[in-house]
Structure 1
Amino acid sequence: MQPMLATPGALPRGPEWVYEVKWDGMRLLAEVADRRARLVSRSERDVTGNFPELAGLPTVVPDALFDGEVVLLDDGVPSFAALADRMHGPVSVARAQARPVVFMVFDILRLYGVPLLDRPLGERRATLERLDFRSVPAVQLSPLYTDGAALLEATAQRGMEGVVAKHRDAPYRPGRRSSGWVKVAHRLSQTCLVLGWRPERVGDSRVGALLLGVPDADGALRYAGRVGSGLASDTVQRVLREVLDGLPSTDSPVDGQVPRVDAAGARWCEPALVVEVVHLGWTDGGRLRQPVFRGVRADVDPAEIRRHP
């Protein structure tokens, strides 16, 4: 099963809406059955070994399916960059305990074998709130708020990603982008495919820039520009090279689209690595304005990517 997605839009208002923080992390479905927890990403990849902190979920309830987001906090604010290393592969219990994640649970889709998908959000949330998560310190309920405008302002002041508004009567529709969930972000973001990379210096193994591509509305891959900001940390460099070294190609995946100044010294790769950038909009030529790298999105299927306005 794939999670339900929110639709971008303006902040809806009214008593029929409730509001949550838009957590800057990794979306997970957590299934509890047969005395074990199984964690699955948006791309339906099993990531149970990445987050051993959540192995205790069966102590809460023996059969359930939860939706939520795993986050790592820096000074109380979720940091997608800090989470990048944990998204990439399994970790030991000791490493997880040294810097544990928090699973912000915001929905329940099944309980004791009973599907809850068609129940309204208000009923699903009430069911969720009756469970006691205190036996698993890494799990918290994502708080709900009734004043969306105040929450939007507060998240902006704290440098957080934004707000998700949810209609109290909305059912859960797996794999669909629902108008019953509306996301309002403070920054423009775009998931992209990596077409190739350029070293910091000639002959260097460090990644100095990524060349990005985004499929258009018809699915044709288009060059979207290059990003160099945000690549400096050793963790980012290691994660990128581990993936890029396994995707070499002799040719550009978008033949003729990459300007000579961007293509100079490029090392091409198969367009299978998904990354996310924040940016200031699009140029008339279809290039990202001042993109900044946020992280590898191992939880996003390359086939899902399309250009956002």
Structure 2
Amino acid sequence: MQPMLATPGALPTGPEWVYEVKWDGMRLLAAVTDGVLRLSTRGGRDVTADFPELAGLTAIAPDVVLDGEVVLLEDGVPSFAALADRLHAPVARTKALARPVTFMVFDVLRLYGVDLRERPLHERRATLERLDTAAVSTVALSPLYTDGRALLDATARRGMEGIVAKRRESPYDGGPGWVKVTHLHTQTCLVGGWRTERGAITALLLGLPDGGDLAYVGRVGAGLAGAPVQRVLSDLLTDTARATPPFGERPPRADGAGAQWCEPVVAVEVAHLGWTSAGRLRQPVFRGVRADVEPQDVRREG
């Protein structure tokens, strides 16, 4: 199964819409088959071992597929940066339980062998609410709201990413039934190189697929400080090193001087202030590695 994605757009209004917080975490499908749990990213990668604290999902039903977002909360607000250290490798159960993630569930795609994806959202939601998700301490039901403007304003005040509007009658089919409205400009990019200073990674050189090439879209240095970020990036990038730049057009000398090049297989997310006329990101800030995004799925997002 492929997760349904929201389309960026203006806030839709009317009684045919409901609204949820856009959780700033890692999108997962949780599939329980014959009592065995499998957690997978939207690209299909198995990450069950990365989140042992979610093993209790098997108690909800012996056969079910749930759609949701794994988050780590700080002061009640999801923090993608805090989650970054949990996205790349299996973790011991004791460490996971010391600071457990929460699986924010917002849809159910299958239950007891019945495929629910063609059912309208309001029916799927009613089915989801009948499940005993509260029995699992690391699972929460993502709340629904009817006032999109009020929710958008509330998420802005709390420094959250934004909201998702969902049409009540929409099936789970990847159509226009989900619209995301965000406060930040964000973009997932591929890393094509990095720069270091005194042993620390100080900048990432970013690209986006453009036909058969990788187009250079800028350099990000802000947001790279901190031991967890440095450790994750170092582990990922060192394993993908190459001798020449992967970009179709070599980055400007000021950006690429002294860079170490890598295969463009590591996806990262940055916040930014828009795009220049030359197709570069304005003032990008690193937010985290997108372990849930496959390189072939990276596209310019606006």
TM-score, normalization: structure 1? 0.96
Any stretches of 5+ residues in structure 1 without a counterpart?
A: none
Residue 304, structure 1, aligned to residue 297, structure 2: yes
Counterparts of 1:256-267 in structure 2, within 5 Å, are 256-267=249-260
1:292 to 275, 285, 288: 285
- Are 1:65 and 1:109, in contact at CA under 8 Å, matched by a contact in 2? yes
- Asked if residue 11 in structure 1 is aligned to residue 11 in structure 2, the reply is yes
In structure 1, the partner of 2:92 is 92
Identity of aligned residues (%): 66
Which residue of 1 is the match for residue 217 of structure 2?
A: 224
Identify the residue that residue 213 of structure 1 maps to in structure 2: 207
Alpha-carbon separation, structure 2, partners of 1:236 and 1:83: 10
Partner letter of residue 170 of structure 2?
Answer: A
Give the conservation status (yes or no) of the 8 Å contact 2:69–2:103. Answer: yes
Alignment-mate amino acid for residue 207 of structure 1:
I
Residues 36, 55 of structure 1: 8 Å contact kept? no
Contact 2:22–2:162 (8 Å) recurs in 1 = yes
Deviation at 1:142, TM superposition (A): 0.2
CA drift at 1:135: 2.3
Q: After TM superposition, where is structure 1 displaced by more than 4 Å over at least 4 residues in a row? A: none
Aligned to 2:105: 105
**Unaligned regions of 5+ residues in structure 2, if any?**
none
Tell me the number of residue pairs that the alignment of Structure 1 and Structure 2 aligns: 302
Q: Distance in 2 between matches of 1:250 and 1:24?
A: 35
Shift of 1:257: 2.9
Map Cα deviations across residues 146-184 of structure 1 (whole Å, 9 max, x no partner).
0000000000000000000000000001xx3x3100000
The more displaced of 156-165 and 130-139 is 130-139
Q: Where does residue 140 of structure 2 map in the other structure?
A: 140
> Aligned residue for 1:269?
262
C-alpha distance in structure 2 between counterparts of 1:74 and 1:274, whole Å: 24
Is the Cα contact below 8 Å between 1:7 and 1:179 reproduced in 2? yes
Moved more, 55-64 or 100-109: 55-64
* Residue matched to 1:192: 189
1:179 aligns with 2:176: yes
Q: SS at the partner of 1:56?
A: helix
In 2, distance between residues paired with 1:220 and 1:13? 40
For the aligned residue pairs, the C-alpha RMSD in angstroms reads 0.9
d(CA) in 1 for partners of 2:118 and 2:225?
46
SS at match of 2:13: coil
TM-score w.r.t. structure 2 length? 0.98
2:274 to 281, 290, 293: 281
2:241 matched residue in structure 1: 248
User: 5 Å matches for 1:12-161?
Assistant: 12-161=12-161
